[in-house]
Amino acid sequence: MSGASVLFDAPGPRARMRNRIISAVALVLLLAAAWVVYTRLQSKGQLTAAKWEPFLTGNLWKTYVLPGVQGTLTAAAVSIVLALLLGFALGIGRLSHHGGIRRPCAVIVEFFRAVPVLIMMIFAYFLYATYDVFPSKYLALAGVITGLTLYNGAVIAEIVRAGVNALPRGQSEAAEALGLRWGQVMRSILLPQAVTSMLPVLVSQMVVVLKDTAIGYQITFLEMVRQGTQVGSAYGNYVPALIVIAVIMISLNFGLGAFATWLEGRLRRSKRGPEPLHPAPVTQGTFGAGAGGTI
């Protein structure tokens, strides 16, 4: 009974042996595939020390890598802030009791969820270029931010709606019974609880925003992947350049996830109330002392 599970029975001796054999075979195949890839790259001279030497110079980082990191972080930061604002506005709008607010918000959310991000980036880029909305050096950045904001704002709106609807219905009913308006219920009771529970999903969507900045390569946006290919073209080391860019991107994503974990823990701790008060023990000698007598 100690090895039983709700989802499946605990494996017996034969099943454990079979699982070990399958795991060993899979590990051998994975190592063999990695060795084949390594030998192919080594035969092409992509993993020699000379290919990695340019990354030890400050000129490469200053000219290629750091501008790409700056472009990626700028687009991601602005897009995340705008997407959160748009997502919460649309999500709360979809929860409204007024059909004139709820239906347009639903149409907007479903439309921008259905349109690919790249199409929105290209459309915004050429729209801004046609009407001179932004200076030419900011056109690509504006197109990337617009596409990421609209798509991820629509996704965050659904996250907000699902998070609020997942809360017990009795809370909103009790608040309404006390005479609170819908806006007060949403602002003071439902949203504070929903934000804490939605935080892991919101962070996952923020990571998506950070990665999707690479799509801006198609509209000449200066970001990390584009700069990585520029390094490969300039120094003839495409594989090391892309490996370095991948390590930087993974580090940024891990940093964002670590910050979200810290923030979630802080929010949960801040919402813990004080310890409940315990009544002081009443002794026989003090009982009834207020009346001037003892028992």
What CATH number has the domain bearing residue 228? 1.10.3720.10
Query: How many folded domains does the chain comprise?
Result: 1
- Residue range 94-114: average pLDDT? 92
Decide if 193 is inside a domain: yes
> Does 286 have pLDDT greater than 70?
no
Structure tokens at 87: 């997502």
Under a CB-based contact definition with an 8 Å cutoff, are residues 265 and 200 in contact?
A: no
Best CA proximity match to 192, nearest among 121, 271, 124, 263: 271
272 φ, ψ (degrees, to nearest 5): -80, 125
Decide if 288 is inside a domain: no
The Cα–Cα gap between 186 and 192 comes to 9
Decide if 24 is inside a domain: no
Decide if 290 is inside a domain: no
Decide if 244 is inside a domain: yes
Q: How many CA atoms lie within 13 A of 235 on its CB side?
A: 29
pLDDT tens by residue, 182-226: 778 887 788 888 887 788 888 888 889 999 999 998 998 999 988
Domain that holds residue 244: 50-270
> Does 105 have pLDDT greater than 90?
yes
143 Cβ contact partners less than 8 Å away, ≥ 6 residues apart: 121, 122, 124, 125, 128, 216, 219, 221
pLDDT tens by residue, 139-157: 999 999 999 999 999 999 9
DSSP 187-233: IIIIHHHHHHHHHHHHHHHHHHHHHHGGGGGGGT---HHHHHHHHHH
Q: Rounded to two decimals, what is the model's pTM?
A: 0.78
Decide if 171 is inside a domain: yes
> Does 41 have pLDDT greater than 50?
yes
Alpha-carbon distances, residue 121 vs 10, 73, 75, 79 (angstroms):
51, 17, 12, 12
- Residue range 10-22: average pLDDT? 87
Cβ count near 198 (within 10 Å): 21
Decide if 34 is inside a domain: no
Decide if 73 is inside a domain: yes
